[in-house]
Amino acid sequence: MDDSEFPHDQSESSEATQIVDSAALKRVREQITQRSQAYLMVIAGPHSGAMLKVDRNETILGRSDKSDLTLQDVGISRSHVRVSRVGDQVFVEDLQSANGTYVNGQRLSIRHELQEGDKIAIGASTIIKFSLQDGIDEDYQLRITEAALKDALTGAFNKKYFSDNIYSEFSYAKRHSTHLCLVMFDIDHFKNTNDTFGHLAGDYILANLGRLAHGMLRAEDVFARYGGEEFAVILRGITMYQGYQLAERIRAGIARFRFEYDGQHVPVTISMGVASFPEIDVQTPDELIAAADGALYAAKRSGRNRVEMAT
């Protein structure tokens, strides 16, 4: 059978191969040949998705704010485990923690040299994977991690990330007798907006609202998409009144912003509820969420485009 018996895609065969820019090829080669870097990736527990490059001689993991990687999980000591570099070798050792450190299911009693894929278990649910990655691996892992933790449309964290963090933050606030403020808000009359201007306009509003709100927050604040058009912000160390002031700034900023889609002005406002522990007598994260949600609906009942504090 000769080649003439096989059909050919004429458009494909006649298409010229594009010449790739030499600088782009050089960047790819550099990433491939880049020396592997050591990483710790949290793959289970309240801080799932967190990633830390082991680029120092000593890295401390624990519950303390002074740790290089702070992990708020039940059973984790303030300074729980040390990861150290000696040349190209990476070691892990338990720092006399209350509940111990486990590598691949075995409790550590002495310093242990980590190998690719080793899993470190500390606390009630936290598992950390040790990994060696080059530049391409690193970029890919960061994209995968971001996709798992964040809402693609708004750039906010997703509900699972919010749920994990509200539990760990509430536990921290109770243990240290500090404030924890929760702000919840949603877009007024969002269904009517979708019906009037279309769902693409709704997506445009959500994306821009996420960008605007995130720009008014601290780096340490957790901004999450809680539902369709509902959002939540976890604010560590913030009182009820401070939370109210922040919420009011966000509300006013959204109301001032001119949303325009397909040449049309789309009016957008938000209603917000604020609750803060320990000013509100709540004993669980779910009760704090319910208090903030109740304040949000009080804002809606009072006319929308306003902020209400839980009582």
Q: Which residues are catalytic?
A: 229
Q: How far apart are CA 203 and CA 206, in angstroms?
A: 5
Nearest 5°: the CA angle 202, 205, 211 is: 145
Terminal CA-CA length for the chain: 85
Q: How far apart are CA 79 and CA 65, in angstroms?
A: 10
Closest CA to 207 of 147, 150, 154: 154
Nearest 5°: the CA angle 70, 73, 76 is: 75
Measured CA to CA in angstroms, residue 217 lies from 96, 147, 190, 287 at distances of: 37, 21, 23, 24
Residues 6 or more apart in contact with residue 308 via CB below 8 angstroms: 272, 273, 274, 295, 296, 298, 299, 302
Antiparallel, parallel or unpaired: β 58-62 and 81-86 = antiparallel
Measured CA to CA in angstroms, residue 95 lies from 22, 159, 260, 295 at distances of: 50, 34, 56, 44
- The DSSP symbol for 157 reads B
Q: How far apart are CA 271 and CA 280, in angstroms?
A: 20
Closest CA to 169 of 248, 63, 247: 63
Q: 98 phi and psi, to 5 degrees?
A: -65, -35
Contact (CB, 8 A) for 202 and 190: yes
